[in-house]
Amino acid sequence: MFFNNYKLKFSLFPTLVFIITFCGFIILGFWQIDRADQKNDLNTNYADRQQDATIVLNKYNALDEKSSLLWRKVTFEGSLINNQNIILDNQIFNQIPGFNIITPFKIKGSDYVVLVNRGWHPNLKNREMLPNINEIVGKQSLQGHIADFPVSGIKLGKNNIETLNSKIFRFQRLDVSELNYFLSANVLPYMIYLDPIVDKELYGNFKLPAPDSQKNYGYAFQWFAFAITLLIIFIRLSMTRKSNG
């Protein structure tokens, strides 16, 4: 048989390189599986919380532990602060660059302000152009979902806040302490994605807290495939033909 004519001969240095690299690929594969499982747990938690009773946000529960509020359905009353609209820059939606339009909301009967994510808008032709942000005046009763601030955008330059006009400000990222100072208010450490959205020009971009777990499983498969390929190559290179003598 073919294998009867060969024997394995291992050299120290190549063997050490193989073992380290092979183990690294295996570890990376299991790490990706663990990441996918963590995402699935988060998304299961999200789905469970969608079945919970809707929160009526008011001064008595606004500062509850954030972890107990995330992804819950919520209704809230108060008024939008129309002269301090925020454009949150560098937000990707469906692989298209754009920005979120966010308006602070004064909660009725309290000193708290919560950021309301009104939706996503694709980037305009140039950064000097401004989106049309509708003023919504008077007392409002809205609903949506509680979520963490979006992933921080890329900070361009030293300043996080850029004044575009007297009512619109561009942010690269959201930070509670900075928002407290900027808005001169007690800003809650989460935001509300409107559902339904109130601006027909915008797109709702509320999504699962940890999307794309399937990508992690795919990456795990790739790392395991690399490990198997490396093993085959190593064995083949370590094979030497037996001498007939």
Residue 207 belongs to a domain: no
The SS3 of residue 118 is strand
Residue 209 belongs to a domain: no
Same domain, 187 and 227: no
Same domain, 133 and 187: yes
Residue 65 belongs to a domain: no
Kindly report the pTM of this predicted structure. 0.75
Residue 82 backbone phi and psi in degrees, to 5: -75, -10
pLDDT for residue 129 is more than 60: yes
Same domain, 36 and 88: no
Residue 202 belongs to a domain: no
Say which residue the tokens 């509300």 belong to.
192
Look at residues 86, 106, 237, 233 and name the one whose alpha carbon lies nearest to residue 174.
Answer: 86
Same domain, 118 and 190: yes
Residue 156 belongs to a domain: yes
Same domain, 109 and 189: yes
Q: Is 171 exposed, middle or buried (0-12, 13-18, 19+ CB in 10 A)?
A: buried
Same domain, 160 and 93: yes
Same domain, 26 and 100: no
Say which residue the tokens 């971009």 belong to.
205
Residue 13 belongs to a domain: yes
Same domain, 90 and 18: no
Provide the residue range defining the domain that includes 112. Answer: 72-194
Q: State residue 102's pLDDT score.
A: 96
Q: State residue 244's pLDDT score.
A: 59
State the total domains in the chain: 2
Same domain, 234 and 134: no
Same domain, 18 and 97: no
Q: State residue 1's pLDDT score.
A: 47
Say which residue the tokens 């990456």 belong to.
219
Residue 229 belongs to a domain: yes
Q: State residue 41's pLDDT score.
A: 85
Q: Is 12 exposed, middle or buried (0-12, 13-18, 19+ CB in 10 A)?
A: exposed
Same domain, 180 and 87: yes
Q: State residue 4's pLDDT score.
A: 64
Same domain, 84 and 146: yes
Residue 161 belongs to a domain: yes
**What would the mean pLDDT of 89-116 be, rounded to a whole number?**
92
Ranges 44-48, 91-95, 138-142, 175-179: which has the least confidence: 44-48
